[in-house]
Structure 1
Amino acid sequence: MKTIKIISALLLISVVACKNQDKKTTVEPEVVKEQEALKAYAEISIKEGGKWEGREYIGGTFKNVTEVKVPAEHTDHSWFIRYEGPGWESSKVGYRMYLDWRNAIDIFGKVTDTMVLSKIGLDGFDSYHEKSDWGMDILKAGKGLGIGSIGRFYNGEVLHFKKVDSTFAKVENSLENSIVITDYYGWSTANDVIDLHQELSIKPDKRYTKHTITPSKEIEGICTGIVKHGVNYFAKESENKKWEYIATYGKQTLAEVPDNLGMAIFYEVETVKEVTEWEHDHLLLFKPTTSEISFYFLGAWEQEKDGIKTEAEFLSYLDEKLDELNKNNSL
């Protein structure tokens, strides 16, 4: 019952804010208290009451939903989904995934340890690119994968999700974790068409996201990666060859916030065929399979509350998590 009560409070915050985008929103103290008690949260918010004009959704107000089938008209910058896709967060960091052909995962850097996603993108669609009292969008994905998203490496480039028959997304929240589930049906790349199921899960007070994917067909080149921004790159192997990581660290946040950000992906060695790169990303290429593949990714921003401030601290943190993975096979 407590989980339902907390989720209802968060939905109320979003609905109230949507109805008051042009004036100051007030929320009952009890609702605020419920929201702040939650240490992990996932949401997806779409517009209702407007209409499609070509590729853009005009008018309407945002409403949180637990699941959505992405309209055929939807693409990048259609103004239909708040901050362009589902979001998930812990007390330390937030993430969002572009629920369109790009499929990249972006990072919301947080300077507070409270839940903030329900407030983002209500005072101007892309206002999160500017510093606010909760933090801001800190990663530029560009033509890359962002951090930990999925693509297909083929003929020397990463192919995104430009050809998909249909896309479904839903969110689940509990006191144990928050999850974003996405199903892509009829994902066409090169001469292959597959379905792809993916789950993104975050735990309270943790930086990392567990990403689990299940392809419907064995094909070469399914990959994940970290977008390149010309900073230090690291790759760490383990003696037991069970788990390893790739990572970057340096001044790779958006130009308005030139400070340090660390990004990393932990991967199970037996699932990966090759560690490589292309123009825009450091890449992990998975072995062809129809079995589940799980890996972990994270962002660590120096402005995070009680955050990691130096490269040495970041690498020490990664080594600690790598040891935990090699001992327990999970985080």
Structure 2
Amino acid sequence: MKTLQFIAVSFCFLAIVGCKNEPKKETIKSEKVAEKAKTYAEISIAEGGKWIDGTRGHEEYDGGTSFKNVTNLRVPDKHTDHTWYIRYEGPGWESNKVGYRLYLDWRNAIDIFGKKTDSMVLSKVGQDGFDSYHEPEAWGQDILKVGSGLGVGSIGRLVNDKMFHFKEVDSTFASIENGAKQSSITIDYHGWKTADDKIDLKSTLSIQPDSRITKHTIIPSKEINGIVTGVIDHKVAYFAKESDNKKWGYIATYGIQTLVPDNLGMAVFYKTDDASEVKKGEFDYLVEFKPTTKPIEFYFLGAWEQEPNGIKTQEEFLKYLDDKLLELNNNNKF
């Protein structure tokens, strides 16, 4: 009888241990899949805490015990910069070349994660401390200081030389998609108010394997002037050029402009028919788009000298840009 009881207890113990171990196995498996992929996108929110009145004049998410990835998010109305709610402050996307993140708050700027590895790393970034990614790690680090600018390839609106970010928005929704050929993020802004206009704006950012380039597609709900993208001005070399067929152009910067500090090249490729003007703003080099409700497609990139087999000189960077411009000239897309 004692033998039977021992067997029964042992069986129950093994069953319980087995059940506890199953989620761990699934987690390990999903991480391995992400590491083998060549693109990845995510948005991750804190859980286990609560919203409190913070020290910065707005509410903050306090006491979070972990982060949870979600495929769809309605951004809380109380969310703003430094609320500690969204891991690294917004969605991130990467290829085996480079990573990016979007500040999903009033700033709406795009930052760059420089990578020293071709593995997918974003699922681990910021897990060991909210700002830890600003420090050098084996995988790389956040390399771009955005400040009051657009970063690279994000959206703003310029009215009478004043830059409007996304300070007044009724609601914001984000969704994530990871596929075999690309990873993408879609942001739907409802009721974006700038000056005397209020519109909806859909923004889709996608990246493909073996590429530094993000494709950015925006769709405004109303024809308004002044919608811009651009590259932040860090007082380094600036370049602008059009393709032979005059259908595409780029604006770009290159030089020591990272937090390391070391060399970084940034560029925006745009269709010349979509642009009303290329100009210098207070903090950025800008491409201003013509008023439309049709999709506007453009591309942007960051090229860091420390990435594996990275571009290390201005001459290499300009050659790379010219090759990409020729590709657009011939194929009208990447």
Give the conservation status (yes or no) of the 8 Å contact 2:34–2:40.
no
Secondary structure at 1:53 match in 2: strand
Pair 1:241-2:246 in alignment: yes
> Structure 1 residue runs of 4+, over 3 Å off?
30-33
Are 1:304 and 2:307 matched, yes or no? yes
TM-score normalised to structure 2 length: 0.89
Q: CA deviation at 1:157?
A: 2.1
Show the 5 A alignment for 1:21-36.
28=28, 30-36=29-35
Q: In 2, Cα distance between the equivalents of 1:66 and 1:258?
A: 35
SS at match of 2:81: coil
- Report Cα offsets for 1:236-262 as digits up to 9, x if no partner: 1123110110000000001xx111000
CA distance, structure 2, for counterparts of residue 278 and residue 35 of structure 1: 39
Q: State the alpha-carbon separation in 2 of the partners of residues 107 and 152 from structure 1.
A: 21
- Kindly report which structure 2 residues correspond to 1:31-46, keeping only aligned pairs within 5 A, or say none: 31-46=30-45
Deviation at 1:91, TM superposition (A): 0.3
What aligned pairs does 1:180-329 form with structure 2 within 5 A after superposition? 180-254=185-259, 257-329=260-332
Quick one: distance in 1 between partners of 2:328 and 2:36?
28
Q: Distance in 1 between matches of 2:169 and 2:192?
A: 4
The reply to whether residue 173 of structure 1 matches residue 178 of structure 2 is: yes
Q: Distance in 1 between matches of 2:310 and 2:138?
A: 16
- State yes or no: 1:143 paired with 2:148: yes
Distance in structure 1 (CA, Å) of the matches to 2:246 and 2:39: 32
The Cα offsets for residues 125-177 of structure 1, whole Å up to 9 and x where unpaired, read as: 01000000100000011000000000001111211000000000010000100
Partner AA of 1:42 in structure 2: A
Root mean square deviation, CA, Å: 1.2
SS of the aligned residue for 1:248 comes to: strand
Structure-1 separation of matches of 2:129 and 2:38:
26
In 2, the alpha carbon distance for the partners of 1:72 and 1:201 equals 26
Q: Which residue of 2 aligns with 1:59?
A: 63
Query: For the structure 1 residues 111 and 209, does the alpha-carbon distance in structure 2 shift closer, same or farther, using more than 3 Å as the test?
Result: same
Distance 1:170 1:146 in 2: 21
Partner of 1:47: 46
1:184-231 CA deviation, whole Å, 9 max, x = no partner?
Answer: 000000000000000000001100000000000000100000001000
* Aligned-residue offset at 1:95: 0.1
AA of the residue aligned to 2:278: V
The secondary structure found in structure 2 opposite 1:206 is coil
The one-letter code matched in structure 1 to 2:223 is: E
- Paired with 2:181 and 2:220, the residues of 1 have a C-alpha distance of 26
Query: How far off is 1:31 after superposition?
Result: 4.8
Match of 2:129 in 1: 124
**TM-aligned CA deviation for residue 32 of structure 1:** 4.7
Secondary structure at the aligned position of 1:172 is classed as strand
Partners of 1:41 and 1:239 in 2: how far apart?
A: 34
Q: TM-score, normalised by structure 1?
A: 0.90
Unpaired stretches in structure 1, ≥5 consecutive residues: 1-14, 17-26
Number of residue-to-residue matches in the alignment? 304
Partner Cα separation in structure 2 for residue 65 and residue 263 of structure 1: 30
Paired residue secondary structure (2:177): strand
> 1:112 offset after TM fit, Å?
0.4
Deviations 1:26-63 (A, max 9, x none): x74x5554222100000000012211113201122210
SS in 1 for 2:176: strand
